[in-house]
Amino acid sequence: MERFARSLGQAWAHGVPVDWTPLLPAATTGVPPVGLPTYAFQRTRYWLDSTHHQPTAPSDLGTGAAHPLLGPAVELPGAQSLLFTGRLSPNTHGRLAEHTGAGVTVLPAAALADALLHAAGEIGCERIDELAFHEPLVMPERGGVQLRVEVGEPDAEGLRVMTLHSRRENRPQGTPWTSHARAVLAAEEDAGTPPSWNLEVWPPLDADPVDVTALDSLGGPDGPGAVRAAWQRDGELYAEIALDPGEPQERTSADGFGVHPALLGTALRLADPAGTAQPRHAPDAQLPNRWHGVTLHAVGASVVRVRLTRQDADGPGLTLAVADDTGAPVATIDALTWRSVAAHDLRQASAAQRGALHTLTWVEARTRGRGAPAPRSWAVVGDDPFEARLGLMAAGTYAEEYPDLQTLAVRIETDGVAAPDVVLVTSPPAADGTAADGTAADGTAGAVRRSAEDVLGLARTWLADRRLAASRLVVLTRGATAHEGDDPATAAVGALIRAAQDEAPGRFVLVDTDGTKASWRALTKALTTDEDHVMLRRSVVRVPRLARADLTAGTTDPACPLDTAAGGTALISGAAGQLSASFAQHLVTRHGVRDLLLLGQPGEDPGVDGATAAAWRELGVRVDTATCDPADPHALTALLRDLPADRPLRTVVHTAAHPHGTDGTPGQAEESGAGAAGGATVAGSAPGRIGAALHAEALRIRALREAIDALAEPPALVLLSVAAGAEGPGDAVDAAAGALLASWARQRRSAGAPAVALRVTPEATGPQVYDGLWDAGEAALLVAEPDVEALAARAASGALPALWRGLVRVPARRTVQRAGDGQGATFKQRLVALDGPGRERLLLELVLDHAATALGHGSAGAVDPDRKFRELGFDSLSALALRNSLNDVTALRMPPGVVFDHPTSAELAAHLADRLLAR
């Protein structure tokens, strides 16, 4: 019938009429057929392209048979050593992993030992004399792990050293490899001794049966190994273990393994140093540590018999004999010992291998060699409390002075004076606690608001005045770097300037100076670089860079405060947000917190979703909810005072509120123009709006601080805020609020109270991402997992923000431009070389391509050239990203609102034509 139907189809395709009615479902089911569309199918690909590429050339694959965890061996030239590489991922090796009581998933020692035995066998050695495991190998929730096994050259006695290291994929160059194991291989003449034992007599004579159910409940692994039967006799434990037949074949096949990790792992977990099975969810994990005399006799067993023999108290632990289902030897471990790994150490290992925690470091800038020309003309605008003009003049640089930007711009326009290369202003302006609208505000909160509104007004004026478009605005601060100052107003101003830099690259430079003559002289040198944030200390120019946090830096501090939180209550302020919910999950699953108080604002529901609530109930978590004004210190104090005495407050988690939604959730915009939709921007949002949001956040901080200070014992304080990634500008309020929280965390730590501020980028997700936050010993951390390949591509094109440059390395080489080669031509040269229709087509394609990228579409075909940008889904941040990318290509300096001023792709392309062809 199938052949007949195919023949009918071929006949119909060649024009033969066919009555299909008897073959259609309607003939038997009554369901009418559905007509095909009259147009061609339109397809959009949503599958991600694989980033894992395997070599295909046989010469690149090495020699020998592959292992499920390792590829073939690669011989290293000029040495008698071998290198094995491999890749792990939760998709391909997830069933080999096991869970610990700390919520950390690790690849068991049994799997690593089998991989090392395979590597040893490739050089003809079937015995490992000594094997020591160091750091547990933590399995990621997503992505892959690179493995490296290196077998060294033999020494004078014929012994070889073998090491196993791992590193997460997509990590910055220079990220250290984690050492997991070191082994000493026996000399070849000593490695082939046949075993003197077998387990052919089965069940063992005079042995008492053991309840298999009890063994499973105490220590059974999470993998597909199952204990069929067990016996004990005179300090020995016997067991029969098989791969679970109910599991899929690809998960239980013994092919490629010496001893399948599920079989060996089950055998190892049947005993611990105390001689009893280890509970699966014990807070501290018992991991096999030192192995002696590990020998592989046979491979491929799917059912094994094992004998565990406890040695005397002075011995190294126990011995393990593994046989197949006939009793013939498979593997022997002459001696094996365990070590207890604390939950804190497992979380630290998880954090170190994940590498999501970053700290801000200041490195000396490269100011020698090729750079931009030194500024030739300078102007100092406004009040000059740092005496910048006198400092520059004393250092040999002349600077004009003007009372404000408007006066400078008018003189440029009316007197024909050239715009200065550099305009200096001092920040923060005087802040007396009065808002720009004249309303009174108290103390620090009022100073934050006034300083923010002043610097935002300055930045908006600077960006809007095209007479100053060719100049750079240098904003001066003193002692305002993260490690030297904790003044909230100054911190907020610096964050807003950095947000303006992201929105308008090349227009702002933030300079923190100590005011010495050498620093004023170094300022000129600093401005010849492409750095947008510098610190001047005498003649040294330093710039900020992100670096992986050193998780050993905090080892001299007291124990992680969150580890002591399990005996008390954790207050989650801003519980309706995603960041707060994620950190609450972290406290529950990683630190054992069982009492949560979720606090929301009036009108909010601070509870959690049904699935999370059910999972927490199963773990025994008690959840209370409350609502109150977070800026009311009296309400907060009363709330904390009413906590039960047996559940004191141990942890406070506060998330910065979002001005247009809760915790990063977009909401209704307040203002028309460039900042109307999406997040708040420096160029598109009214200074009063941002100032009011920061004032409200400062009041919440003050209220929470007063409520905490009233407690007899200060709780651990965790402060969360949303951060922008490296791909584009972020929300200005989020940036400034994060700076406020960081300044508070520094104040708390300087007073001896435990506190840390975390700024979290959108791609850093999951409760595991917060592991190790206290081990860094820092008051402020960035939690980020950037796409390193994307960072490298942006760095190669010169578009990577300076802050992120320390995470990638790009060769400092230029591309040779050949005559007649369009690769080196500027965009304007390409445009001028075309005729009229060609220019229109090129510009429209340019806008559509970059608009599609800004919206996350796969191709420019998804963007209608005549549809308004707002209707396409653009908000203020994506509009800035589009503007910046077009500026990069065209070398124009278009204002931040250009996308919404020319609201369709066709109109924006026409505007580009006017700007480019008029120059």
- The pLDDT assigned to 38 comes to 63
- The pLDDT assigned to 274 comes to 42
Rg of the chain in Å (alpha carbons): 33
Q: Among 3.30.470.20, 1.10.1200.10, 3.40.630.30, 1.10.3720.10, what is the CATH number of 825-917?
A: 1.10.1200.10
Low-confidence ranges of the chain (pLDDT < 50): 51-59, 217-223, 248-252, 273-282, 429-441, 556, 558, 661-678, 817-824
Q: Residue 725 in contact with residue 784, Cβ under 8 Å?
A: yes
- pTM of the model as a whole: 0.80
Q: Residue 111 in contact with residue 175, Cβ under 8 Å?
A: no
- The pLDDT assigned to 401 comes to 95
Q: Which CATH superfamily is domain 208-345 in?
A: Polyketide synthase dehydratase (3.10.129.110)
- The H helix count followed by the E strand count for the chain is 25, 31
Left if phi > 0, otherwise alpha if psi is -120 to 50, otherwise beta: which for 387? Answer: left
Indicate the pairing of strand 105-107 with strand 98-99: antiparallel
Q: How far apart are CA 755 and CA 746, in angstroms?
A: 8
Residue owning tokens 């409520």: 707
Interacting residues of 631 by C-beta distance below 8 A, sequence separation 6+:
696, 699, 700, 702, 703
Q: Write the class of the CATH domain 363-549.
A: alpha beta
pLDDT digits (tens, 9 = 90+) for 19-78: 877 777 655 555 666 666 666 666 666 666 554 444 444 445 556 667 889 988 888 887
**CA nearest 356: which of 551, 558, 107, 565?**
551
Interacting residues of 528 by C-beta distance below 8 A, sequence separation 6+:
367, 371, 372, 373, 374
Q: Among 3.40.50.720, 3.40.50.300, 3.30.499.10, 3.40.30.10, what is the CATH number of 554-789?
A: 3.40.50.720
Left if phi > 0, otherwise alpha if psi is -120 to 50, otherwise beta: which for 19? Answer: beta
Report the CATH fold assignment for 68-190: Thiol Ester Dehydrase; Chain A (3.10.129)
Residue owning tokens 């040269």: 829
- The pLDDT assigned to 132 comes to 95
* Cis amide prior to 37 (ω within 30 degrees): no
- The pLDDT assigned to 479 comes to 76
Q: Long-range contacts for 54-63 (Cβ within 8 Å, ≥24 apart)? A: none
- Domain ranges for the chain: 1-31, 68-190, 208-345, 363-549, 554-789, 825-917
Do 825-917 and 208-345 fall under one CATH topology? no
